[in-house]
Structure 1
Amino acid sequence: MRLNPDLVNIPIVALTALTMVGDHEKCLEAGASDYLAKPVKLKTLADTIWSILGNRK
């Protein structure tokens, strides 16, 4: 998605059900805006989204 100029500024939150060592870093390196492991509380997801949107230029 990050290679497509039309999508480069779209926030991406990666969600995973199986957390492995290094996943967070790999997701961010791949272009995700943030990474959360399931189960995710709604407040955590909302806070993450608002944080990403607040940091956009």
Structure 2
Amino acid sequence: MLQRTKVWRGVSLPDHLVKEIEEVIIKTKRYRSISEFVSEAIRLRLEEIQKDLRREAVAV
């Protein structure tokens, strides 16, 4: 059986953003951690960018 290992990287965020994220987590209870919030935010933004790139490719 093949094992997949996840590679994790660390990133630095300005303190004011971390505080805002913490407030959202507390108020909404939609996320279990800052990491979960940031991962979803990045995934959603990447999807937006990829969609824009596909539109641009079709328009050319």
Q: TM-score, normalised by structure 2?
A: 0.31
Q: Indicate the structure (1 or 2) with the bigger Cα radius of gyration.
A: 2
More helix, by proportion: 2
Q: TM-score, normalised by structure 1?
A: 0.32
Higher relative contact order (CA 8 A, sep 6+): 1
